[in-house]
């Protein structure tokens, strides 16, 4: 499944030559799928700077981080990709604010704090088409664009579509902000109070 409401098409790169910032946020684990986005880069038409914001939380994932670094080196992408290491909570918001596009390339998920952070910060999102991600799009239609899970080529195609279409980026951002407003802590508290008033 691709970007909501549109089919992948070749964007006019000449009109969008500014290097865009693309962010993948979260700890390095195979489940998070940072390597999928790394492999997508050689297929891109749009010039981007990829920020992989996060470090390793579990010792067993050190091997995966090394795999990602080797992949970057083998594909000669050192000048296009930055790995930040652990991000302090006070710095998280600024990463989402500066990103033109945030990607959640999960191989699997049971709910992700990194995705929650992205939505709460009104990020423009491209996510893998896992069931839980599609469920979020059902709650707030066209809140996120999607690509085929574990498919770097389709990931690249959808990045190009989105970065070549500023109005689509703004539309996705607007839906994400609306979802965050309707499902944030204040709104949930109001719903709880309304429920208690009905049953008491």
Write down the pLDDT at residue 118: 85
How many CA within 13 A on the CB side of residue 147? 27
Write down the pLDDT at residue 113: 75
Higher pLDDT pick, 95 / 181: 95
Whether 156 shows a pLDDT value over 80: the answer reads yes
Higher pLDDT pick, 110 / 63: 63
pLDDT tens profile 92-137: 889 998 999 999 999 988 766 778 888 888 889 999 999 988 888 8
List, as one string, the DSSP characters of 63-112.
HHHHHHHHHHHHTT-TTTEEEEES--GGGHHHHHHH-SEEEE--S--S--
Task: Identify which of 113, 108, 182 has the alpha carbon closest to the alpha carbon of residue 143.
Answer: 182
Write down the pLDDT at residue 182: 74
What average pLDDT does range 22-35 have in this prediction?
96
Give the chain's radius of gyration (CA, Å).
17
Write down the pLDDT at residue 9: 38
Mean pLDDT over the full length of the chain: 83
Write down the pLDDT at residue 14: 37
Torsion of CA 26, 27, 31, 36, to 10 degrees: 70
Whether 165 shows a pLDDT value over 70: the answer reads yes
Write down the pLDDT at residue 99: 94
pLDDT cut 90: percent of the chain above it: 56
What average pLDDT does range 37-46 have in this prediction?
96
Whether 190 shows a pLDDT value over 80: the answer reads no
């Amino acid at each position: 499944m691709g970007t909501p409401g549109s089919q992948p098409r070749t964007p006019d790169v000449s009109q969008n030559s500014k290097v865009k910032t693309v962010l993948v946020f979260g700890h390095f684990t195979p489940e998070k799928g940072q390597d999928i986005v790394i492999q997508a880069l050689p297929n891109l038409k749009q010039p981007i700077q990829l920020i992989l914001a996060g470090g390793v939380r579990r010792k067993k994932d050190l091997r995966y981080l090394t795999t990602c670094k080797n992949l970057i080196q083998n594909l000669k992408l050192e000048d296009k990709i930055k790995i930040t290491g652990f991000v302090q909570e006070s710095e998280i918001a600024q990463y989402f604010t500066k990103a033109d596009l945030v990607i959640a390339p999960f191989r699997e998920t049971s709910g992700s704090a990194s995705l929650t952070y992205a939505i709460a910060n009104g990020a423009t999102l491209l996510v893998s088409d896992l069931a839980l991600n599609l469920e979020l799009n059902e709650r707030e239609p066209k809140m996120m664009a999607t690509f085929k899970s574990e498919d770097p080529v389709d990931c690249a195609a959808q990045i190009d579509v989105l970065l070549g279409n500023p109005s689509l980026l703004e539309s996705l951002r607007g839906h994400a902000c609306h979802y965050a407003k309707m499902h944030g802590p204040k709104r949930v508290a109001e719903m709880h109070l309304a429920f208690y008033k009905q049953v008491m």
